[in-house]
Amino acid sequence: MRVVETVAEMRQARAAMGGGVGLVPTMGGLHEGHLSLVRRARSADDHVVVSLFVNPSQFGPKEDFDAYPRDLERDLRLLEAEDAHVVFAPSVEEMYPPGFDEWVEVRGPLTERLEGAFRPQFFRGVTTVVARLLRIVRPQRAYFGEKDAQQLRVVRRMAEEQRLPVEIVGLPTLREPDGLAMSSRNAYLTSEERQAALVLPRALELGRTMVECEGVRDADRLKEALADCIRREPLARIDYVAVTDYETLEELTVIDRPALLLLAVRIGSTRLIDNASLIPGGSEATEELRRRGGFST
Ligand code: AMP
């Protein structure tokens, strides 16, 4: 496994690669969720590049950029064990040299709603850094988690708009045995908060049961029930509970097609997001998506 820290070295390493290249962009603080993306890339691509970069431009001034877990030695050990070929771990100055002005932005409701409404700088930072990584590494495939469902859809749109010749692959969320979605930010939770955080998977499960087993189709009714469930946890504060179209993330009033249930909840000072697909049986769109194998969560 080769570790490279400069853009020039990364371009050089890329030029020497024949065959298919897969890229797994991460901010480090690796867990099994990240490693599942690396494993998929390892099985599909001849060369696997993993980037480790805590991207300052996607954090707001009051967010956790400084506190974000960083442990390069540990991340490298984990990636070595997965047989990754190249780890790209650039400095902030490498990614944003003086005078940098190649900002890449996806405009419109897809980036303005949900995470975009709570973190106004977030998607501009993500699309800028991912576009830069894609231009440096030039992979045929890049792998992202459904855990960050809106980010995945924004990155897909960005790649289309920028005409980048890459397939954006979305992969399912890996969870702890008790259901909590794996996240680097789980490390911030105290043991009491860690217990309280289980309200997220519990609410998602409730939503799924209401839609898929009880036939609930009224999105407001669903959101109210979930908000009630979350409010019963004293350490939890809701940023949003949303029910949207599965692909476009447009808000639904009636759940009459494949949908996504998205949560953002603060547990103490830690902000967690999670989501689940909702598949109302019987609709034509649902059956079509099922045929295409389109559900990954
Ligand atoms: P991050 O380091 O948090 O920016 O995440 C890097 C990539 O890993 C993103 O595409 C995330 O969606 C993905 N990811 C994060 N958590 C998980 C998880 N629990 N399961 C699967 N993928 C994940």
Residue 92 CB neighbour total at 10 angstroms? 12
C-alpha closest to that of 145 among 259, 31, 280: 31
DSSP single-letter state for residue 212: I
Q: Is 159 in the pocket of ligand 1 (CB under 6 A)?
A: no
- Residue whose Cα lies nearest atom 10 of ligand 1: it is 144
Instruction: Please answer whether residues 35 and 10 qualify as being in contact, where contact means their C-beta atoms are separated by less than 8 angstroms.
Output: no
- Residue whose Cα lies nearest atom 5 of ligand 1: it is 26
pLDDT digit string (tens) for 275-284?
Answer: 999 999 866 7
Instruction: Please answer whether residues 164 and 135 qualify as being in contact, where contact means their C-beta atoms are separated by less than 8 angstroms.
Output: yes
Domains identified in the chain and CATH numbers: 2-171 (3.40.50.620), 184-292 (3.30.1300.10)
Q: Is 147 in the pocket of ligand 1 (CB under 6 A)?
A: yes
CA–CA separation, 229 vs 117, rounded Å? 23
- Distances from the Cα of 47 to the Cα of 10, 131, 141, 151, 159, angstroms: 13, 19, 11, 24, 21
pLDDT digit string (tens) for 5-50?
Answer: 999 999 999 999 999 999 999 999 999 999 999 999 999 999 999 9
- Residue whose Cα lies nearest atom 11 of ligand 1: it is 145
Annotated catalytic residue 31: no
Instruction: Judge if pTM exceeds 0.85.
Output: yes
> For residue 291, what pLDDT is reported?
73
264 alpha carbon, distance to own chain's centre: 13
